[in-house]
Amino acid sequence: MTDFDDTLPAPDEFDIAPVRLTVDLGALADNWRDMVRRSGKARAAAVVKADAYGLGLEDCGTALYEAGARDFFVAVVQEGVTLRTYAPDARIFVLSGIWPGQESLFFEHDLVPVIASEEQLAFWMSLLAEGGDHPCALHVDTGFNRLGLPFADALALAKDVSRPASFSPVLVLSHLHSGDTPSSPLNKAQLDAFQEVSAAFDGIETSLSASAGIFLGPEYHFDLTRPGIALYGGESVNGMQPLRPVAKAEARILQIREAAAGSTVSYGATHQLSRRSRLAVVSVGYADGYLRALSGSGVPLRAGGTSGAYGYIDGHRVPIIGRVTMDLTIFDVTDVPERAVRAGDYIQLFGPDMPLAEVARAAGTIGYEMLTSLGLRYERRYIYPEE
C-alpha cells in the first residue's frame, strides 16, 4: 500500500493492455443478416464453436441471438451449455454428437446432438428406448471422410421400417470439403449425393452449406445454412472479398530503438539490416496466437519463402523483422515519420486496415486459425450495435 493508492484514478484496462482485441458486434450482426439474405429461401443458422471463433461465445452468441438467429451450432456439449444461457429458446446443435455420461447435459439444457456414427446411433437409440423422445440431427458423410454416417448406411437407415418411431431427426446435414473452391467438380458430386439423402429423408429439414457453400448458389442451400467464418469477417471463399471486419487485434510498442546497417535482428540473427533502421519492439508473440510462422525470416517450415507479415500504424504498413518470439515481435518503422510513432502506441496486427486473410496467408495458414489461436492475454472490448 502506498500514498498513491487513494489519489491515482483507476486505469482503463483496455487503454493500458499489452495486447488488446476490439470486437465489433454490430458488424457481426450485420454479417449474419447478410448471410440470411444470401441464403435465399433457407434459414441461416450461426456457427459459434471454438468460443465463437475465438471472439467470445457469450457476447457473440448474445449479439447473434438478438439479431434474430434461432439455430446455432457448437462443437462440444460444454459450449452448448454455455450458449443456452444467452440463447434461451434457440435450437442448439452439438456437432460432436453425444457419448455416455453426457445425457443429463443434453436433456437438462435442451441440446440437440448431431449423430455422426454407428456407435452414437446405437447409443442414442438405447437412450430413446429408456427415456422417450428427444430431438437429434443426423450427419451423413457425402465424401469428406470425416464425421458422418456412411452414405449407404444413411440411405439404408432412411428405408428401415423397423427403426423406432421415436427416432425422428429434426435435421439431416452434411458438409462440403471444397466449398471454398467454387470451380471444384467435387462440390457437384457432393451435392448430388446429398440430394439423394434429402429425398430419402423426405419431410425432414436438410442442411449442406457452411459459409463457403452459401456462395455456390441456391441449389446448395436446402432448408438451413450454417455460416461460420463469414460472420466473423474471415475469408470463406478463396480470393473473395470477406464481409465486414469484426475483430481488430493490436499490440503496444514497448520500445523504439535505432539499429545500425549490417546489424542483425532477433533470434538466430536471421535478418541483417541493409540500412540504418528504427525498430519497434512490440508486446505480442506466439504465446498470444501471433504465429511464429509470421516471422520476417528464419522460419524454414513456411512454404514458398514468403517474406512474412506486416502490421499497420498511422497509415503505414510496417514489416516484421526477424523471428516472432514468445512475447515480442519486432517491426521495421523506419519509413514511418518519427513524430508519428513512439513507445506506448499500438500497432494493428489485423483488422480493418490489415486484412485478416492477408496476415493468415503470410503465415501459410487461414483466418480460422488466426482467430481461434488468440491467446488469453488480450484485453477485450466489445462494441455493441447501439454504441
Question: Is 135 in the same domain as 282?
Answer: no
pLDDT for the residue 5: 61
Catalytic annotation, pick one of 49, 220, 248, 312: 49
Question: Is the pLDDT assigned to residue 301 strictly greater than 60?
Answer: no
Question: Is 228 in the same domain as 259?
Answer: no
Q: CA–CA separation, 110 vs 135, rounded Å?
A: 9
pLDDT tens for each residue of 227-283 = 999 999 999 999 899 999 999 999 999 999 999 999 999 999 999 999 999 999 999
Question: Is 45 in the same domain as 166?
Answer: yes
Question: Is 202 in the same domain as 285?
Answer: no
Would 144 be classed as within a structural domain? yes
Lowest mean pLDDT among 3-17, 103-117, 147-161, 217-231: 3-17
Are the C-beta atoms of residues 268 and 321 closer than 8 Å to each other? no
Residue 285 CB-half CA count within 13 A: 15
pLDDT tens for each residue of 171-194 = 999 999 999 999 999 999 999 999
Would 375 be classed as within a structural domain? no
The DSSP 8-state label assigned to residue 157 in this structure reads: H
Question: Is 218 in the same domain as 122?
Answer: yes
Provide the pLDDT confidence category of residue 284 given band limits of 50, 70 and 90: very high
Question: Is 40 in the same domain as 91?
Answer: yes
Domain housing 297: 247-354
pLDDT tens for each residue of 126-182 = 998 887 789 999 999 999 999 999 999 999 999 988 877 778 899 999 999 999 999
Binding site residue list for substrate: 146, 326
* Annotation marks residue 378 as catalytic: no
Binding site residue list: 146, 326
Q: What is the CATH number of the domain that holds 129?
A: 3.20.20.10
Question: Is 268 in the same domain as 216?
Answer: no
Provide the pLDDT confidence category of residue 120 given band limits of 50, 70 and 90: very high
Q: Please count the structural domains in the chain.
A: 2
Are the C-beta atoms of residues 294 and 319 closer than 8 Å to each other? no
* Annotation marks residue 267 as catalytic: yes
pLDDT tens for each residue of 67-93 = 999 999 999 999 999 999 999 999 999
Are the C-beta atoms of residues 323 and 267 closer than 8 Å to each other? yes
Would 8 be classed as within a structural domain? no
Question: Is 338 in the same domain as 202?
Answer: no
User: Cell numbers at residue 8, please?
Assistant: 491515482
pTM of the predicted protein model: 0.93
Span 29-48, average pLDDT: 98
Q: Locate the DSSP E strands across the chain.
A: 19-24, 43-44, 46-47, 71-74, 91-94, 111-115, 137-139, 171-173, 205-207, 224-225, 247-259, 264-265, 271-272, 277-282, 310-313, 316-319, 329-332, 346-350, 379-383
